[in-house]
Amino acid sequence: MREAMFIKKNAEKWKTYQQEDPMDPDEASERFITLMDDLAYAKTFYPKSKATKWINGLAAAVYQNIYRNKKEKYSRVFAFWKYELPLIIQKHHRTFLFTTLIFILFVVLGVFASRQDPEFIRGILGDNYVRMTEDNIAKGDPFGVYKDDDPFNMFVRIAFNNIKVAFITFFSGFTGGLLTFYLLWSNGIMLGSFQYFFFANGLGLQSILVIWIHGTIEISSIIIAGAAGFILANGILFPGTYTRMESFKKNAKDAAKILICLIPFFIGAAFLESYITHLMSETYNKAPGGMPSWMSVLILSLSFLLITWYFIAWPILLHRKGFFIKKDGIVSRLQYNDA
């Protein structure tokens, strides 16, 4: 094919590629493949032609567009976890503090009520559960409840249940926080009663080393889910200078992002409970395959550091460094003069 015919046949297509951006990644990919075919043909038969340079430039532009979009896609995800989400958390730190304090209060109330009336524990935890645990203690296997012949099914069941509870706690914010408050109350009372039950049976330290392997992340995530519910409720009840709808939308967006971030934490807690907690439980019934106590302390410490760093220390540090979220949702940083 003569060069003039080749150019006439493809010129309109090249002009379109040059003047109009691709509608989606699939179209960009199709353009790149087409241009590479044209470029290979042109370099073979018209290596010194201006048309060949034109096609080469178009192909390079499409390639850079694809690469840039891919890079932005991944950098956006990275920026969300490193900057945007921690800054959202920092903005609502007072709500997080309030939620944490009332949950601790409910746990203390659960401990106090259980100490005053031993039957209170049965009413909260259920008579069947208490009897089963007492039987396990008598048999020398106090944490037998964490054993399961199929750890994977246990992992899926626990992860699904915890995520479901978190979503219920979040959506309870639509009740003005009343149902969120109730769910935190019920979980706090239950935790206080549960923990006191083991202390009352002389298994306090052991229960901490076993149960809190997964409980550190799991309980922290429940508190954070409660905070997300209260953030949603605040947007409805206390709009401030915004209209109630604008306030609701802003807080709902923040709360939803906080809730979504909890999913990997709940999955991690479910993994620890299904595959690791039972190893520590074996240590206290002197069964083979147990886990040394120092490993439990290490997991507990790392879990606690992860929660405190990501949800407390890192957000505060970013705020002090001048990072903030602009109205368009983009993270930016204040520039200070050193003079």
* Any domain includes 133: yes
* Any domain includes 226: yes
Distance (Å, rounded) from C-alpha 226 to C-alpha 329? 24
Number of domains in the chain: 2
332: left (phi over 0), alpha (psi -120 to 50) or beta: beta
Residue 46 has pLDDT above 50, yes or no: yes
**Low-confidence winner among 29-43, 113-127, 310-324 (lowest mean pLDDT):** 29-43
Specify the amino acid at residue 206: Q
Residues 187 and 217 grouped into a single domain: yes
Domain finish residue from 74, 102, 117:
74
Could you read off the pLDDT of 60-102 as tens digits, one per residue? 777 666 555 444 455 778 888 988 999 999 999 999 999 999 9
Residues 198 and 98 grouped into a single domain: yes
Residues 60 and 136 grouped into a single domain: no
Residues 162 and 289 grouped into a single domain: yes
Structural domain including 282 reads 88-311
Residues 111 and 248 grouped into a single domain: yes
Could you read off the pLDDT of 142-165 as tens digits, one per residue? 777 777 667 888 889 999 999 999
Share of the chain above pLDDT 70, in %: 86
Span between the terminal Cα atoms of the chain, in Å: 68
Domain finish residue from 74, 109, 132:
74
Residue 337 has pLDDT above 50, yes or no: no
Residues 97 and 186 grouped into a single domain: yes
Residues 306 and 173 grouped into a single domain: yes
Share of the chain above pLDDT 90, in %: 45
Average pLDDT, integer, range 203-222: 91
Residues 99 and 55 grouped into a single domain: no
How far is C-alpha 170 from the geometric centre of its chain's CA atoms?
Answer: 14
Residues 239 and 292 grouped into a single domain: yes
Residues 110 and 221 grouped into a single domain: yes
* Any domain includes 334: no
Q: Are 211 and 270 in contact (CB under 8 A)?
A: no
When pLDDT is cut at 50, 70 and 90, the band that residue 32 belongs to is: confident
DSSP-based three-state secondary structure for 290: coil
Residues 233 and 299 grouped into a single domain: yes
Domain finish residue from 40, 74, 108:
74
Could you read off the pLDDT of 278-307 as tens digits, one per residue? 777 666 555 555 677 888 899 999 999 999
* Token digits of residue 297: 């302390």
Residues 34 and 177 grouped into a single domain: no
